[in-house]
Amino acid sequence: MITRFAPSPTGLLHLGHAFAAHLAQQLARENEGLFLLRFEDIDHTRVRPEYYAAIEEDLRWLGIQWDAPPWRQLDRLDSYQNALETLKSLDVIYPCFCTRREIESELSHLTNAPHGPEGPLYPGTCRNLKNIPTDKEPAWRLDAQKAAALAGPLTFHDLKHGETTVDPLLLGDVILSRKDIGTSYHLAVVCDDAAQHITHITRGEDLLPSTHVHRLLQKLLDLPEPKFHHHQLVHDDQGERLAKRHDALSLRALRESGMSPADVYSQMPPLNL
């Protein structure tokens, strides 16, 4: 068994991150497996160098230790480009030149705008574009319908939710390659999990919809099928999901307030592995 914790170095870790890392490590340890650390840093405009070290320091303070040198996605852009070329050869992606404002304008004029679990879906403006601009750098989107037809029926197994049928259209034509970086979360995470031989992907249940896209990409790219464990999220006293803007609940702030690692663990939900 190989699990991983994959934070973004765009802020300090909070209690929710600690729970996610602890769960991934414990799952691996209880099965005599490996636990890996990976930095998801393709959001390079928000990444700060000091957060790499801060994340490692906070994890070590909690007694969480990884079993190999951490990976950084910014070191793997060539791998994502190779995967994108494979998807191009399968004719399941297309270039998109829309700005965010143009997409919002298009959606506002639709009487039945497509919606998914995370809000409005891309309306397909560039899906059948005839005149491809040659002076603009495009993003690349998944043609979900073409991809679904090529991949056929799919499922994934979740340790908490059981066997789930993939809905390849759930998130619509998601971006697989941003104009500024040449990849996206969906493409990078699928490539990385395969390259690191991750057998069990543990992450928050807020990412459960993304797994439908990831299984589709794994099939198209002929990558191994891992198991999943979408765990509960940690909330604050008002019932809101923790985010990096909750500075007072960062591990750094908790530590500086005098809390011990044992105190932090006592505030976490049960692991329920």
93 and 189, same domain (yes or no): yes
Question: What value does the mean pLDDT take over residues 129-154?
Answer: 92
HEC per residue, the chain = CEEEECCCCCCCCEHHHHHHHHHHHHHHHHCCCEEEEEECCCCCCCCCHHHHHHHHHHHHHCCCCCCCCCEEHHHCHHHHHHHHHHHHHCCCEEEECCCHHHHHHHHHCCCCCCEECCEECCCCCCCCCCCCCCCCCCEEEECHHHHHHHHCCCEEEECCCEEEECCCCCCCCCEEECCCCCCCHHHHHHHHHHHCCCCEEEEEHHHHHHHHHHHHHHHHCCCCCCEEEEECCCECCCCCECCCCCHHHEHHHHHHCCCCHHHHHHCCCCCCC
Final residue before a domain boundary, out of 136, 164, 195? 195
Final residue before a domain boundary, out of 142, 172, 195? 195
Question: What value does the mean pLDDT take over residues 38-46?
Answer: 94
- Cross-strand pairs, 227: 200
Q: What is the pLDDT of residue 248?
A: 55
pLDDT digits (tens, 9 = 90+) for 111-125: 777 788 888 899 999
Per cent of the chain over pLDDT 70 is 95
Which residue matches tokens 């191994």?
224
Q: Which residue range is the domain that position 119 belongs to?
A: 76-195
Q: What is the pLDDT of residue 243?
A: 62
Question: What value does the mean pLDDT take over residues 56-70?
Answer: 98
Query: Which class for 135: exposed (0-12), middle (13-18), buried (19 or more C-beta within 10 A)?
Result: exposed
In a domain, 49, yes or no: yes
CATH code of 144's domain? 3.40.50.620
111 and 183, same domain (yes or no): yes
Query: Is 190 a residue whose pLDDT tops 90?
Result: yes
pTM: 0.92
121 and 18, same domain (yes or no): no
pLDDT digits (tens, 9 = 90+) for 206-231: 999 999 999 999 999 999 999 999 99
In a domain, 216, yes or no: no
In a domain, 15, yes or no: yes
In a domain, 212, yes or no: no
Final residue before a domain boundary, out of 148, 164, 195? 195
Written as one letter, the residue type at 149 is: A
37 and 96, same domain (yes or no): no
In a domain, 200, yes or no: no
